[in-house]
Every structure is written in C-alpha cells, then in structure tokens.
C-alpha cells in the first residue's frame, strides 16, 4: 500500500499540471489515468491549439514546464473582435509595457511539455495507464484500488477527469448543463498575408469563426463554430469547398488560404458543478466547469483552479493541517466558485448575444462594440480578463512559488 498526500484522478492538461505543481511544493502526489501517455502525446490525438493566458504562462514557468515549450508558442499581441465582416470592430492592442495577452500553443506541445516536466518531478508518482476499480472516501482518508492490483491511500482525492467526471457523479454533485446547438470544427490554415500575432474573433449568427495565430507568422488555427445540423455536411466538404466557405467568413483579408492541418469536430456544451468540494474531494478543470471555447478560457479556468488549490493546500500543510481538511476545502470553494461562475456566465452571454439574427440586434451589437472600443477603462478590463489578471490571483499565477 502506497501513501500519498493527494491522489489525482485524471492526468489530462489540468490534472498533470496540478500533479507537477503539488509535487514541486513537496506534496506527495499520485496521478491515475487510464489513458496511455504514449497515445495522448501522439500526433493526431489532440489537434487543437489553446490560448494560454499570460498568468497561466507564468505558472507554467514557475513549475518548470515552460523550458519544454521554448519556441513552440505564438504570442497574441492583438485581439480583433467583429460582428461578421461589418465595420466597427473592437481592436485590443495592449500598451507596450503591459506585455502580451497570452500565447497560442498546440495542445500536443502542451501535452509533450507536461510529460517531460512530470518525468523529472520528484514526489510525483504516475499510475498511467491504470484505472481505479474501487474508491472509498471516509472521514479518515481516501483509499483506491487499481486495476493493476495496487492500492493507494491519500488524504485528499482530486477529480480532474474532464467533463463527464464519474467521481463528481458518484459524489452526487449536481451540475447545471446544456448543449449548444453548435459544433466546433477545428483545423489550421496557411495564409498569404501574415497574421501579425493577431487573434481574430469574427461573430456570425450560427456561430463564431476564430482565427488564432500560430508559428510561423502565416499560419492560423481555425475554430469554426457551425450549427449542429449543418456540421455533418460541412465535415464532408472537399478541401476546396471547405476552404472556399472559410474564405467567405474571412473576407479575403489574409490573402490566399490553404489547409495546414486535419479537420476535426467537437460538440460544444456548458456545464457547471453546484459545488466543487465534498468530503476529502476537490474538483478541478472540466470536472468542475465546461464553457464554450469562444474566448479560449476553458483550460485557463482549469489552470486557475490548479493555482488556487495548490496555494490553499500548501499554506494549510505548512500550518500542520491535513490536505483533506474541511476548512481548506471551504477556502478553495470560496476562492474558485465565484470566479468560475462569473467567467462561465460571461462566455455563455457572449455566445447568445451574437447568435441573435436580425438587423436590430446587429445594430445594437455594433453600438456595443463601438462603445467598448471608445472606453479605455472597459477595454482595459477585457484585456485583463484575456491575460487572466482579474480577481484575487494565487501566487503561482504571478510566477512565484507558494
Ligand atoms: C474546440 C475547443 C477549443 C478549445 N480551445 C481552448 C483554448 O483556446 N483555451 C482554453 O483555455 N481552453 C480551450 N478549450 C477548453 C479546454 O480544452 C478544456 O477546458 C481542457 O482541455 C480541460 O482539461 P481537463 O484536464 O480538465 O480535462 P480533459 O482534457 O478532458 O482530461 C481528463 C483526463 O481524465 C482522464 N479520466 C477520465 N475519467 C477518469 C477516471 N475515472 N479516472 C482517472 N482518469 C480519468 C482522461 O483519460 C483524461 O486524460 C477548448 C475546448 C474545445 C472543445
């Protein structure tokens, strides 16, 4: 029987980051995941790219993941938001000393970097691939039996199992959820004119079309949201027809385009757990909340959970508390519950606002975009949100260890 302070179920982007961050602070941690890292880091497993906010980047630096991402990310220097191809776009360009708003990384590079960092982390034990056959949480601790025959004990169980978290369900934690009548088609294009490190969010009724800057400077990731009933036909389009449809949405401002990656599709939904803690249990990442990828905030929200949970646990353990202590979990719940809820609601509102058809809603949206464009205070708040700088920041998000 092996003993740990924390047992994490799920070694995806959020779970593995948490494992590394906790172990780096001397917290003895186990990560259990049925997925084999050989498969999850293979080309083609996850073709998405993620906008990692500057505060999330600061945490990845602090816990030693950033060196493995050297030369892989494209900075986002500017965010351009428009209502279709109508004039009156919102253009976010930070002041020079404010630095970049975030960095685009291919998910595969993030997975490989975490894998390298995890291998060199003392105090982190990985049971991957392995799965639990029995998990018991009691007032005394957590015990899990694994399919491999191992038994592990810990003081706290963390569910980082993604949106369909079985541990959340078994704990009877209710979730508010709905599916958007949207699918996200994800791919990459090469374009004739450089993107100049700009992320474009072009909103259409039926779904937003996002172009996210990648390396080299003439490649962008495409996150193209289409109504679910149109998705099968869109996915069946020939490469030429797909590019022609994409070009209609881009309006030609990047010049000629060609396909630079495979096309894949993801169903989109919203879910939010009523609470993110229970007896010796904490939820992080998509196990706690799932949002529309409209502004690329889902993973960042999960990384904010990681930073807050690490701070709460490390502070508590330094005071001699057990990491499963109810007071510590209550602090985590208070810290993360509100921020996750506010971000989720804001993203959902944005999706709905731009999905209303008709001339009047379009005029109202244009007036709204123009008002934000003119008001530096509002613009500053949006940019702080993109950087992940809103709310009470855990130390890791400022680049400091706890
Ligand atoms: C199209 C699209 C684009 C996106 N773009 C962005 C973006 O630009 N920026 C951004 O911040 N976010 C983005 N997101 C959101 C982001 O991808 C997710 O929020 C993030 O991947 C969630 O990570 P996670 O580790 O919580 O969950 P997951 O990635 O789902 O990982 C869960 C892990 O748990 C394991 N597991 C499952 N069940 C168990 C179990 N019972 N026991 C043990 N292990 C288990 C799984 O094998 C898996 O490895 C996007 C999402 C979509 C759909």
9 lines ligand 1 (CB under 6 A): yes
198 lines ligand 1 (CB under 6 A): no
Query: Is 212 within a domain?
Result: no
141, pLDDT greater than 70 = yes
Question: What distance in Å separates the CA atoms of residue 376 and residue 244, rounded to the nearest whole number?
Answer: 37
% of the chain exceeding 90 in pLDDT: 66
52, pLDDT greater than 90 = yes
% of the chain exceeding 70 in pLDDT: 87
The rounded Å distance from CA 54 to ligand 1 centre is: 20
β-strand pairing of 49-53 with 198-203 = unpaired
Pocket mutation for ligand 1, best pick of 48, 51, 166, 220 (most atoms within 8 Å of C-beta): 48
The residue-averaged pLDDT of 184-196 equals: 95
The residue-averaged pLDDT of 4-19 equals: 98
The rounded Å distance from CA 265 to ligand 1 centre is: 15
Query: Is 241 within a domain?
Result: no
β-strand pairing of 281-283 with 156-159 = parallel
214 lines ligand 1 (CB under 6 A): no
Question: pLDDT-derived band of residue 308, with 50, 70 and 90 as boundaries?
Answer: very high
162 lines ligand 1 (CB under 6 A): yes
The residue-averaged pLDDT of 255-269 equals: 91
Query: Is 81 within a domain?
Result: no
Question: What number does the ligand 1 atom closest to the CA of 15 have?
Answer: 25
Question: Given this model, what pLDDT does residue 91 score?
Answer: 74
What is the CATH number for 330?
Answer: 3.50.50.60
pLDDT tens, 339-389?
Answer: 777 777 777 766 666 666 666 666 666 666 666 666 665 666 666 666 666
β-strand pairing of 257-259 with 175-191 = antiparallel
pLDDT tens, 276-286?
Answer: 999 999 999 99
Question: Given this model, what pLDDT does residue 353 score?
Answer: 66
37 lines ligand 1 (CB under 6 A): no
Least confident of 84-98, 135-149, 181-195: 84-98
The rounded Å distance from CA 328 to ligand 1 centre is: 25
Query: Is 261 within a domain?
Result: no
395 lines ligand 1 (CB under 6 A): no
pLDDT tens, 229-247?
Answer: 998 898 899 999 999 999 9
The domain tally of the chain equals 1
Range of the domain at 16: 2-71+106-176+270-355+391-398
Query: Is 225 within a domain?
Result: no
3-state secondary structure of 312: helix
pLDDT tens, 145-156?
Answer: 999 999 999 999
User: DSSP readout, 157-224?
Assistant: EEE---TT-HHHHHTT--EEEEEEEEEEEEEEEEESS--TTEEEEEE-TT--EEEEEETTTTEEEEEE
Nearest CA to ligand 1 atom 9: 296
Query: Is 242 within a domain?
Result: no
DSSP 261: S
Cβ neighbors of 282 (< 8 A, separation 6 or more) are 156, 157, 158, 159, 276, 309, 329, 332
β-strand pairing of 49-53 with 289-290 = unpaired
Query: Is 94 within a domain?
Result: no
Of the candidates 102, 301, 112, the residue with the CA atom closest to the CA atom of residue 213: 102
Beta-strand ranges (E) seen in 262-323 are 264-273, 277-278, 281-283, 289-290
Helix 298-318 to helix 54-62 angle, to the nearest 10 degrees?
Answer: 40
The rounded Å distance from CA 161 to ligand 1 centre is: 8
221, 226, 228, 233 alpha-carbon torsion, rounded to 10°: -90
166 lines ligand 1 (CB under 6 A): yes
Question: Given this model, what pLDDT does residue 96 score?
Answer: 67
Question: What distance in Å separates the CA atoms of residue 147 and residue 43, rounded to the nearest whole number?
Answer: 28
Question: pLDDT-derived band of residue 207, with 50, 70 and 90 as boundaries?
Answer: confident
pLDDT tens, 75-113?
Answer: 999 888 888 887 666 777 776 666 678 899 999 999 999
């Amino acid at each position: 029987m092996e003993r740990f302070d924390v047992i994490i179920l799920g070694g995806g982007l959020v779970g593995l980051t948490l494992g590394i961050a906790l172990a780096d602070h001397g917290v003895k941690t186990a990560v259990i995941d049925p997925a084999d890292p050989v498969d999850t880091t293979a080309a083609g497993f996850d073709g998405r790219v993620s906008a990692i906010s500057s505060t999330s980047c600061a945490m990845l630096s602090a816990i030693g993941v950033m060196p493995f991402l050297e030369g892989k990310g494209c900075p986002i220097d500017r965010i351009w938001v428009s209502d279709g191809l109508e004039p009156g776009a919102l253009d976010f360009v930070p002041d020079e000393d404010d630095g970049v708003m975030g960095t685009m990384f291919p998910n595969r590079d993030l997975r490989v970097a975490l894998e390298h960092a995890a291998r060199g982390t003392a105090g982190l034990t990985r049971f991957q691939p392995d799965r639990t056959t029995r998990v018991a949480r009691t007032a005394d601790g957590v015990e899990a039996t694994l399919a491999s025959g191992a038994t592990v004990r810990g003081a706290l169980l963390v569910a980082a199992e993604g949106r369909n978290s079985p541990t959340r369900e078994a704990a009877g934690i209710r979730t508010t959820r709905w599916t958007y009548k949207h699918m996200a088609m994800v791919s990459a294009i090469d374009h004739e004119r450089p993107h100049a490190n700009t992320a474009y969010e072009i909103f259409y009724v039926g779904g937003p079309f996002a172009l996210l800057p990648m390396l080299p400077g003439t490649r962008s990731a495409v996150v193209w949201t289409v109504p679910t009933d149109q998705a099968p036909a869109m996915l069946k389009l020939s490469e030429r027809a797909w590019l022609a449809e994409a070009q209609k949405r881009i309006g030609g401002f990047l010049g000629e385009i060609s396909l630079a990656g495979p096309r894949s599709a993801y169903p989109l939904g919203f879910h939010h757990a009523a609470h993110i803690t229970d007896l010796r249990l904490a939820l992080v990442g998509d196990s706690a909340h799932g949002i529309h990828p409209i502004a690329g905030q889902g993973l960042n929200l999960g990384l904010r959970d990681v930073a807050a949970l690490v701070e709460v646990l490390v502070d508590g353990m330094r005071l001699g508390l057990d990491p499963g202590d109810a007071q510590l979990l209550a602090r985590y719940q208070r810290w993360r519950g509100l921020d996750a809820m506010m971000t989720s609601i804001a993203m959902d509102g944005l999706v709905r606002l731009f999905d209303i058809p008709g001339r009047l809603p379009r005029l109202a949206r244009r007036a709204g975009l123009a008002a934000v464009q003119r008001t530096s205070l509002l613009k500053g708040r949006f940019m702080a949100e993109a950087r992940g700088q809103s709310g009470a920041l855990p130390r890791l998000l400022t680049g400091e260890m706890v």
